[in-house]
Homo-oligomer: A and B are copies of this chain.
Amino acid sequence: MEPKRPNAMDERRLFLIGDVPGFSPQIGRLVSMMNYARHTTLSAVEGLEPRHLDYLHDTHSNSIGALLSHVAAVEVAYQAGTFHSRDLNRDEMREWGAALDLGERARREIRGHYLTYYTERLGHVRAMTLAELGRRGDDWLNEQSPFWGGLAANNYFKWFHVFEDELSHRGQIRWLRKRALAAA
């Protein structure tokens, strides 16, 4: 019999920030927030077709598809940084570089996909994050290292940043969704 996976995404607990089975107390709180953020990102793109996911509002805009890829790419980058203390390697940059950078290259390379392409990648990356977080404890979350501008950041901040960046782009996705649906 398969070991029961920690029930990290229990919809009846969507509005509770607190303990999550399978995680240390503070990591559970972090995971609660990551879950809610992801829930709203997925809601924001529900039912979108490739033409909506590829929609470019103007020449400087990112598509919704590119923003979804960016959310996954940022998570991959912070997996490498916080779980393995390294930058993305050449293979990972080949896979995620355009999504990380957004802009011109993302407009050129990230297009023509169905929604499931993006959501499956998000789900796959998230499963790896939860598996790694489940092996760690609150002490790890509090570990500090020099970060932006040489100021100290702890792992709690770094994973907060992963979901706060997602929420920021979710705001843009909600805005773009209305225009993409009206346009096509």
Taking Cβ atoms with an 8 Å cutoff, the residues of A that contact B are 12, 14-18, 26, 29, 32-33, 36-37, 40, 58, 60, 142, 144, 147-148, 151-154, 156-157, 160, 164, 167-172, 174-175, 178-179
Q: How far is the CB of A22 from chain B (nearest CB, A)?
A: 19
Q: Which residue of B lies closest to A142 (CB)?
A: B18
Contact between B167 and A15, CB atoms less than 8 A apart? no
Contact between B152 and A16, CB atoms less than 8 A apart? yes
The contact of A16 among B60, B154, B171, B174, by CB within 8 Å, is B154
Contacts of A15 in B (CB 8 A): 147-148, 151-154, 157
Contacts of A60 in B (CB 8 A): 178
Contacts of A16 in B (CB 8 A): 144, 152-154, 156-157
Contacts of A37 in B (CB 8 A): 164
In Å, the complex CA distance between A32 and B178 comes to: 33
In Å, the complex CA distance between A144 and B17 comes to: 10
The contact of A14 among B26, B40, B151, by CB within 8 Å, is B151
Q: How far is the CB of A173 from chain B (nearest CB, A)?
A: 8
- Beyond A37-B164, A164-B37, whether A157 also contacts B12 by CB under 8 A is no
